[in-house]
A and B are shown apart, each in its own frame.
Chain A
Amino acid sequence: MALHCRSSTLLWMPTLNRPLISLITTSGGRQPVRLFTQSQHRRFTDDARLAKRIQIYQSRSSNPYVNLSVEHYLLQHSHPDSTVLFLYKNRPCVVIGRNQNPWLEVNLALLREGLSGSPIDLVRRRSGGGTVFHDSGNVNWSVICPPAAFDRNKHAEMVVRAVQPLLQPGLRVRVNERHDIVMDVTPEGKTFKVSGSAYKLTRLRSLHHGTCLLSSPNLGHISRLLRSPAEPYIKARGVESVRSPVRNVGIANTSDFTDAVITEFCKMYDHHESEMVEVDDSGVETEKIRNGVNELMSPDWIYGQTPQFTFSTHPTEDDPRERPPLPADLPSNFRTEMVVRHGQIQSASVSGLSFVIDPDDPDFIPGDYPPDDIHNGRFTLDADVLGGLLVGRKIYGGDGVYDWRRALVLAGGEFTSSNGTIEPADNVGTFLNTMLGIQPKDP
């Protein structure tokens, strides 16, 4: 099915050979410029449009899964020789890089709690790099170009040229050695990150996209959203984020920014045509975009794509860090170590759980229990045997572990009589839910 979108034509001043939009912006006009001579529905997936040398798209959707899927569609379907600019804003969400670990990068419980009642989406993008926070005060810019023209800095420099004239005196933006845009604040003598870059390179195309914090009201929350309680216990393969102090550029009206970026983009590519295509949620009417949205929203992508990691409550040879003290309601001999690859438990050991031996059980044969493992009528479950019962399970959604309390009771239940209880599966399970749980509630 076709994707319908509003196609708009910007008004140009032919004598000036540049868009009126830039004229107004640079003359200090603060009103968003929307000078469309025509507005009509056209297919954005139109082959002729995707074949144009220079293409400019802007999204009206705030759905991060839709926006990233539209972006991916443009990456895959725009003409290999074309250069594409795509601008979009997302509702509050945390976006992790392609090869990152959500259990390590994000406080999943806080994400579920959300900001003022609405949960924050967790998104895994297709490009590399680290974790970032988006909201309506952050504009994302994306440039897709042929690989031969690829350069990690040139489009960040383009955004710098767009932003600099909009800044208050004493503020300067530049691209740093990590290809991010930072702002030097002269009065404070400090440098803050205002935009993060990430790239996706395919055989035919290269994509550079970045955030730009213009006027986010949520800066105060970002740090705790991006701090996982499980961090001291996880050693992960893949990519870890680099923390940077952030701030807003201080542009209240996001369209001032997008107009300036479009102008710089047109200058950079000597573009004098006048078409900017607006995309909205109806993008999902296109099958490939809908499939992309479904993939990005699936737990198998968000969690299952995670590179291998080890969760261990105590120092190990591979991860000798001192661990924070465990909650007081856990047994002193509790310890666990789990290797999780692509969200699936590869190996596990869980020690410190036991159950009360029921001497009235007709099946009970005292000789079956190694005496060393019986204390005060309790039989201690072997760490590897109990862990072994978790092997193969996914630690996210679906048929996997939703609630660790239940998972442990079920695993331990293999060894108890029908009225036996595993102790203290509830406390251990609650601890693991805090660390790894992606569903806090009882199933």
Chain B
Amino acid sequence: MASIARCVRSARPSAFTAFVKAPVSRTIISRRAFHATAISQIRKYTKDHEWIDVSADMKTGVIGISEYAAEALGDVVYVELPEEGKKVQAGDAIGAVESVKSAADINAPISCKITHVNLVLEEKPGTINHVPEDDSHGGGWIAKVAVDEQGVKDLENLMDPEAYKEFTATESEEH
């Protein structure tokens, strides 16, 4: 146990005085800075209703769930975000969405590494219902990823927006 005075001395003025007297100044980083306006990015969909936007240089991507899925899920009450830094294969569960007593896995569309997660969703899970396919700040995207070589190959197995639209139209008919 350290002595009072030594501790107090080491703690001042940065701790004692600063905390009491001055409001904590926070560095506010504009979240918009994260949003790189995509020029000719590629969007693909999985059969499991995830989407991925891949940058033109095929190095990075943004993942989310489709409007079709968001509507089918109903009111989203919690989003369990992926773990930053985690490397995943196509089809691996990376997170989950809870709605109407259902915990539904979110799967990685391609092999990739999670670099950012959308913390807004933890606080405002309903964002997924409103703008599930929006990859900008305030949108319902789930994670930003670094795409690896295998990931680029995996893209070939996914559907482009036209094909996905047809695919969901058939799914709806079957139900």
| Chain A residues near B (Cβ < 8 Å) | 97-99, 126-130, 148, 152, 178-179, 197-203, 237-239, 307-308, 355, 357-358, 361-365, 368-370, 373, 379, 382-385, 388, 413-418, 420
CB atoms of B5 and A363 under 8 A apart? yes
Among residues of B, the one whose C-beta sits closest to the C-beta of A129 is B101
CB atoms of A385 and B19 under 8 A apart? yes
> For residue B1, which residues in chain A have a CB less than 8 angstroms away from its CB?
413-414, 416-418
CB atoms of A237 and B3 under 8 A apart? no
Among residues of A, the one whose C-beta sits closest to the C-beta of B50 is A203
> For residue A200, which residues in chain B have a CB less than 8 angstroms away from its CB?
102-104
CB atoms of B122 and A308 under 8 A apart? yes
CB atoms of A202 and B98 under 8 A apart? no
How many Å lie between the Cα of A188 and that of B2 in the bound state?
Answer: 68
State how many residues of chain B have any CB contact under 8 Å with chain A.
36
Q: How far is the CB of B48 from chain A (nearest CB, A)?
A: 5
CB atoms of B102 and A128 under 8 A apart? yes
How many Å lie between the Cα of A382 and that of B174 in the bound state?
Answer: 64
Whether a CB of chain A sits under 8 angstroms from the CB of B80 is yes
> For residue A127, which residues in chain B have a CB less than 8 angstroms away from its CB?
101-103
Count of inter-chain pairs, beta carbons less than 8 A: 120
How many Å lie between the Cα of A198 and that of B98 in the bound state?
Answer: 11
Query: A203-B107, A239-B78, A358-B4 are known contacts. Are A382 and B15 too (CB-CB below 8 A)?
Result: yes
Q: Which one of A126, A363, A365, A388 has the greatest number of beta carbons of chain B within 10 Å?
A: A363
How many Å lie between the Cα of A363 and that of B1 in the bound state?
Answer: 13
In the complex, per-residue mask of B1-23: 1 if CB is within 8 Å of any chain A CB, else 0: 11111111101100111011000
Whether a CB of chain A sits under 8 angstroms from the CB of B138 is no
CB atoms of A202 and B20 under 8 A apart? no
> For residue A126, which residues in chain B have a CB less than 8 angstroms away from its CB?
103
> For residue B4, which residues in chain A have a CB less than 8 angstroms away from its CB?
355, 357-358, 361, 363-364, 379, 415-417, 420
CB atoms of B12 and A368 under 8 A apart? yes
Whether a CB of chain A sits under 8 angstroms from the CB of B71 is no
How many Å lie between the Cα of A202 and that of B94 in the bound state?
Answer: 11
Name 5 interchain pairs, CB-CB below 8 A, sorted by A. Answer: A152-B102, A179-B100, A202-B93, A361-B3, A414-B1
Besides A203-B105, A203-B107, A417-B1, 16 other CB < 8 A contacts? Answer: A127-B102, A127-B103, A178-B101, A201-B103, A203-B48, A237-B122, A239-B78, A307-B78, A368-B5, A369-B8, A370-B16, A382-B16, A385-B19, A414-B7, A415-B7, A418-B1
